[in-house]
Amino acid sequence: MPYNRIIPLQKLLRSSLLLLAFGSNASYAADRYLIDSEHTFSYFEYNHWGLSMQRSRFDLTTGSIELDRDSQSGNIEIDIDAASISTGSDNFNQIMRSSDFFDAANFPKISFKSSSLHFEGPQLTAVDGDLTIKGISHPVTLQISNFNCRFMLIYGKQTCGANGSASILRSDYKLGRYVPFVSDAVTLHISVEAIKEY
């Protein structure tokens, strides 16, 4: 091979190796956490006929969190099992799982996927994303409180936790039965703990 072709080839190889090295570092910059379903649950509250604020929860929430605290970026995916709703009444649970409300047989998952994370200093304060219920997606912002990360001896791994909440309208997701007697406005709360995957 002529000498004048060897030099550009060496430069190309060197550039490719640098790109691979930096690309590899970028892809592993975020820590990945798996949501601990035993210490994570979602619940919602609404006004019932102007009499009281009622609360119901979902017993199964799963998902993952990728978090790069240095660049203040990441990705959050949360899946809530619609059939795991727990109102305290077996009869009411069946009603809430029915097509009148969550239609859990046809739409088994309620999901949240983040689009951007917001920080104030080192603290995560809000997460923008899309909330999907009954196949209908709308943008929401989860307001974050109590965000902390620490090494947990019981797991032998780093663990992060937070509380998030967002106000939504039931009618936006075809859940508007009995509005306005039962409030259209609902506050969704998600209490999360997640364990570092590796």
In a domain, 8, yes or no: no
Looking at per-residue pLDDT, the higher value among 178 and 17 belongs to 178
Looking up residue 82, the CATH number of its domain turns out to be 2.40.128.110
End-to-end CA distance of the chain: 46
Tell whether pTM > 0.85: no
What mean pLDDT is predicted for residues 124-141?
Answer: 98
DSSP string, 75-110: EEEEEEEGGGEE-S-HHHHHHHHSTTTT-TTT--EE
pLDDT for 135-147, tens place per residue? 999 999 999 999 9
In a domain, 86, yes or no: yes
In a domain, 175, yes or no: yes
Q: Judge whether 97 and 58 are in contact, CB under 8 Å.
A: no
In a domain, 134, yes or no: yes
For residue 93, the enclosing domain spans: 30-196
pLDDT for 35-62, tens place per residue? 999 999 999 999 999 999 999 999 999 9
Report the percentage of the chain scoring pLDDT > 70. 86
| Total domains in the fold of the chain | 1
Q: Judge whether 172 and 138 are in contact, CB under 8 Å.
A: yes
In a domain, 5, yes or no: no
Is the model's pLDDT at 5 over the cut of 80?
no
In a domain, 15, yes or no: no
Q: Which residues have CB under 8 Å from 34's CB, separation 6+?
A: 63, 64, 194, 195, 197
Looking at per-residue pLDDT, the higher value among 27 and 128 belongs to 128
Average pLDDT, the chain: 89
In a domain, 107, yes or no: yes
In a domain, 172, yes or no: yes
Query: Using CA atoms, how far apart are residues 177 and 170, in angstroms rounded to an integer?
Result: 8
63: left (phi over 0), alpha (psi -120 to 50) or beta: left
Is the model's pLDDT at 1 over the cut of 90?
no
